[in-house]
């Protein structure tokens, strides 16, 4: 099958046969193919399945079929761009390899850069996970454990084994993973250490844009805010997430009257303009640290990613203004 193209050089791989390992077992065949056929649009992957060009143990399967250890998957030859989108993906991957702050046999922790989505979609051709797969084409398994907003930087967990993904997802559901963020908020926070438990409801707008509001009928949400440093007109906060709702920190902070600096959706325009003058070019929200008992060893595990130079520059400017 040939993907539609326009005067772009194409390359066509041969038929591949892949035997499913125990760590890859349990995932749906469509998700498995999306990981293996890098650069191929989702619509084409599903077309391959509908046409029966993908075979499992020599038979046709539907997109929702869950792979089992020992299954033999036939992956047909698919033409993909050798330039264009692939070139953009390679450029977007940039220095991701240098932003890995921890790695072992089952887990990778990345200091995600601000401005890069964790995955493609909603008009984006690629994200962090697609870029990682592109720079590690021989990696048998790479899957996101959780997500960060596109403009949020910091610690992002990527599983290198299916068993690791299952274990960490169970720990997330049980509240056994501690995630701490650094956020600069507007005004002088005078509530001390405070747990914010405001239910949140996610709305979908035209074009796929998400908007979250406090609502009694929303999902239970809990964030623990703790002030770290006070500046003129702003406070540096540490926020621990006890649930993981969309835009949770941003909406909780805004609902308290202390929106996050640089937040164009829930923030305070005048405060954002003041922070822009101090050098802020993005939202001041950084996933600083993450901790849990490591599934492979059972030992306590914690990893952190320091603030980037762009955010430290803003704090230095606030410190200088404080005198």
Please list the active-site residues: 149
CATH class of the domain whose range is 85-163: alpha beta
Closest CA to 218 of 206, 235, 201: 201
CB of 237 within 8 A of CB of 250?
A: no
CB of 93 within 8 A of CB of 55?
A: no
What CATH number should be reported for the domain whose range is 10-80? 3.10.290.10
Contacts of 239 (CB under 8 A, 6+ apart): 180, 181, 182, 183, 223, 224, 225, 226, 249, 253
85-163 with 177-322: one CATH topology? yes
Domain boundaries, the chain: 10-80, 85-163, 177-322
CATH class of the domain whose range is 177-322: alpha beta
The tens place of each residue's pLDDT in the chain, 323 residues long, gives 333 333 333 344 467 788 887 777 888 998 888 877 766 778 888 889 999 999 999 999 999 999 998 899 998 877 554 444 444 444 455 578 889 999 999 999 999 999 888 876 544 456 888 888 878 877 888 899 999 998 999 999 999 998 999 999 999 999 999 999 999 999 999 999 999 999 999 887 655 678 899 999 999 999 999 999 999 999 999 999 999 898 999 999 999 999 999 999 999 999 999 999 999 999 999 999 999 999 999 999 999 999 999 999 999 999 998 76
Q: pTM for the whole thing?
A: 0.74
Rounded-to-integer distance, Cα 290 and Cα 179, Å: 5
Rounded-to-integer distance, Cα 230 and Cα 223, Å: 20
């Amino acid at each position: 099958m040939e993907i539609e193209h326009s005067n772009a050089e194409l390359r066509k791989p041969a038929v591949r046969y892949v035997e499913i390992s125990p760590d890859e077992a349990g995932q749906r065949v469509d998700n498995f193919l999306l990981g293996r056929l890098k650069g191929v649009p989702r619509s084409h992957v599903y077309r391959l399945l509908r046409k029966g060009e993908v075979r499992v143990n020599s038979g046709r399967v539907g997109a929702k079929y869950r792979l089992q250890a020992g299954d033999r998957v036939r992956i047909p030859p698919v033409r993909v761009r050798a330039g264009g989108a692939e070139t953009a993906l390679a450029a977007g991957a940039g220095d991701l390899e240098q932003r890995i702050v921890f790695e072992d046999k089952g887990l990778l922790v990345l200091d995600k850069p601000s401005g890069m989505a964790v995955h493609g979609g909603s008009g984006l051709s690629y994200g962090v996970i697609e870029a990682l797969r592109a720079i590690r084409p021989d990696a048998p398994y790479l899957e996101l454990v959780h997500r960060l907003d596109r403009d949020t930087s910091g610690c992002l967990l990527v599983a290198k084994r299916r068993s690791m993904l299952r274990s960490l997802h169970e720990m997330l559901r049980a509240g056994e993973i501690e995630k701490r963020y650094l956020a600069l908020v507007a005004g002088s926070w005078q509530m001390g250490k405070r747990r914010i438990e405001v239910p949140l409801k996610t709305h979908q707008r035209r074009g796929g844009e998400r908007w979250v509001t406090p609502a009694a009928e929303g999902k239970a949400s809990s964030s623990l805010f703790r002030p770290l440093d006070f500046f003129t007109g702003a406070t540096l906060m540490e926020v621990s997430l006890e649930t993981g709702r969309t835009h949770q920190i941003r909406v909780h902070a805004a609902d308290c009257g202390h929106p996050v600096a640089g937040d164009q959706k829930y923030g305070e325009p005048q405060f954002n303009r003041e922070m822009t003058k101090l050098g802020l070019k993005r939202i001041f929200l950084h996933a600083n640290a993450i901790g849990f008992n490591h599934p492979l060893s059972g030992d306590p595990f914690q990893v952190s990613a320091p603030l980037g130079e762009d955010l430290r520059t803003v704090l230095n400017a606030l410190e200088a203004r404080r005198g």
